[in-house]
Amino acid sequence: MALQKTTPALRRMLVPLALAQFICSFAGSNMNVMITDISHDLHTTVQGVQVCITLFLLVMAALMIPGGKLTDRWGRKRCFSLGLGIYALGAILSALSTGLGVLIVGNSILEGVGTALLIPPVYILTTLFFSDTTSRARAFGMITAAGGIGAATGPLLGGVITTAISWRAAFGFQAIVVITIAFLGRKIEDPLPADPSRPFDIVGSVLSAVGLIVLVLGILAADNNLALCLLLLVIGAAVLGLFFGWIVRRERGGHEPLVSIKLFRNRTSSLGMVTQNLQWLILMGVSFVVSAYLQVVRGYNAIQTGVIFTAATLGILGASLVAAPLARRFQQRLLILTGFVAAIIGVAVLLAVVKHSPSPWAFAPGLLIIGLGVGVMLTPSVNVVQSAFPEAQQGEISGLSRCVSNLGSSLGTAVAGTILVSGLTSPQHSYALAMIALIVFSAIGAVIALGIPKQGRVTSEPSPTPAPAT
């Protein structure tokens, strides 16, 4: 293909792909600073906004693997374009929301579905366009950097837009960026033809999505109705059990399942994915709890909250800059363990400062430590998972890895957020309980990291630090 030999043309095609990762990462982090503005404007509660944020992350997690599978059947460019169109519609509907229900349809469902359709083609097209290892690594570096910038600027830029104009303008900004991406990407050509005959596991897709959604809804129901919470948790677990039974049966019958059961039989990879899930659970849990506490209890506006969270952003970006040399000098499990220990220390600092300092800047040291911890262990976790499988299975394990990370993000907002909002009448107490829960999850992550088999240091260039879960 002549286009592949033209470096400027390839770079032009990389721009819309990187921008797509940027806006999806931005969307995943900017709503936390709008909690009070949205709740006041739409006459809802903090819990209502929490549900909206959690469902957005959950829809992405539930549909990311099916979205990746559809790229073969429908074509990568078509999925990318369709995802952009659905996302833009969701952003516009969110900006025009008249109530929480409309916002959930626009943000949680339409933007979530759009993201699940457009993100897999970003990585698949990049892999196809850049065939040699060096150029591919640079391309992925640009995409993951764009994702990091999106997540990093989400709270700050979202806070600036919300304070200066309105939270609705932040969704308008997303719509403008998505339309720009569609314009820039209009000349992208799919290197491979679509294969409409490629099998698609509809039953597996439905069972996995329903199981995950019901399970997380059960967690969200914990503060209102314990019986309903337990019922939903049991139903969700049962549906996920049916899902695993289905893919085992389908694979043994010689049919292509949604996810190969073989991916779950590798102990090293499985432990690595659990650490990925817990990393994002902790990061998003801290993000929601501290954001809600600062806005609802201490009365800070969106931009003030966004500025405070730049400490965590600087920590993640700073650690990411030294991820490659650290991976060459130290064992992967040691870096993951160090990251969880840092998270424990950072959350403990956040727990301590709430009683002893009225200054919002007292939260910065704890957020910085957590950011450094998460940044240190992101790349090693990806390396542990990806290196456990041959080249032929990299696409499949990457999709599962992103699904697990997104699920961690939704669980963090659901678990820690539910603990916080259930006791806002006693904010100090509920904040402390939420932070203690996050310390427990960090400790679990440290124990699991100890169980990862010892591996040699990374001798070649490690996988680029992944963009924040989208």
- Mean pLDDT value across the chain: 87
d(CA 188, CA 16): 9
Q: Is residue 385 part of a domain?
A: yes
Q: What is the pLDDT of residue 455?
A: 64
Task: Outline where DSSP puts E strands in 286-352.
Answer: none
**Are residue 218 and residue 270 in the same domain, yes or no?**
no
Rg of the Cα atoms in the chain:
21
Of the CA atoms within 13 Å of residue 19, those in its CB half-sphere come to 21
Q: Residues 47, 407: contact at Cβ < 8 Å? A: no
**AA identity, residue 318:** G
Q: Which residue has the higher pLDDT, 356 or 382?
A: 382
Q: Say if 469 falls within a structural domain.
A: no
Is there a single domain that holds both residue 361 and residue 406?
A: yes
Residue 297 lies in a domain: yes
Phi-psi region of 43 (alpha: psi -120 to 50; beta: other; left: phi over 0): left
Q: Do residue 208 and residue 184 come from a single domain?
A: no
Is residue 272 located within the same domain as residue 212? no
Question: Distance (Å, rounded) from C-alpha 351 to C-alpha 66?
Answer: 39
Question: What's 34's DSSP letter?
Answer: G
Q: What is the pLDDT of residue 468?
A: 52
In terms of Cα–Cα distance, which of 295, 309, 289 is closest to 417?
Answer: 289
Structure tokens at 131: 């065939």
Same-domain pairing of 121 and 225: no
Picking from 240, 257, 274, the residue at the C-terminal end of a domain is 257
* CA pair distance 236, 243, nearest whole angstrom: 10
Whether residues 225 and 284 fall in one domain: no
For range 21-26, the mean pLDDT: 89
Query: To the nearest 5 percent, what fractions of the chain are helix, strand and coil?
Result: 80, 0, 20
CA distance 441 to 278: 7
Please report whether residue 194 resides in a domain: no
Tell whether the model's pLDDT for residue 272 goes beyond 70: yes
Count the alpha carbons within 13 Å of 102 in the hemisphere toward its beta carbon.
Answer: 15
135 within a domain of the structure (yes/no): yes
Domain count, the chain: 3
**In a shared domain, residues 42 and 92:** yes
Q: Which residues of 22-37 are buried (b: 16+ CB within 10 A; e: fewer)?
A: bbbbbbbbbbbbbbbb
115 in Cβ contact with 87 (< 8 Å): yes
pLDDT for position 456: 46
pLDDT in tens, 452-466: 987 645 544 444 445
| pLDDT number for residue 2 | 39
Identify the burial level of 391 via C-beta atoms within 10 angstroms of its C-beta, where 0-12 means exposed, 13-18 middle and 19 or more buried: exposed
What distances in angstroms separate CA 287 from CA 254, 401, 410, 426, one per listed residue? 44, 21, 12, 20
Clarify whether residues 144 and 222 are in a common domain. no
Classify burial at 183, counting beta carbons within 10 Å of its beta carbon; exposed 0-12, middle 13-18, buried 19 or more: exposed
If asked whether residues 171 and 278 sit together in one domain, one would say: no
Q: What six digits make up the tokens of 445?
A: 């992550």
- Residue 329's domain spans which residues? 265-464
258, with CB counted inside 10 A (0-12, 13-18, 19+), is: buried
> Based on the domain organization, do 49 and 179 belong to the same domain?
yes
- For residue 424, the model assigns a pLDDT of 64
Tell me, yes or no, whether 216 lies in a domain: yes
Instruction: Please report the pLDDT score of residue 140 as a whole number.
Output: 74
Listed range (101-110, 202-211, 342-351, 419-428) with the worst mean pLDDT: 419-428
Residue 344 sits in a domain whose CATH number is 1.20.1250.20
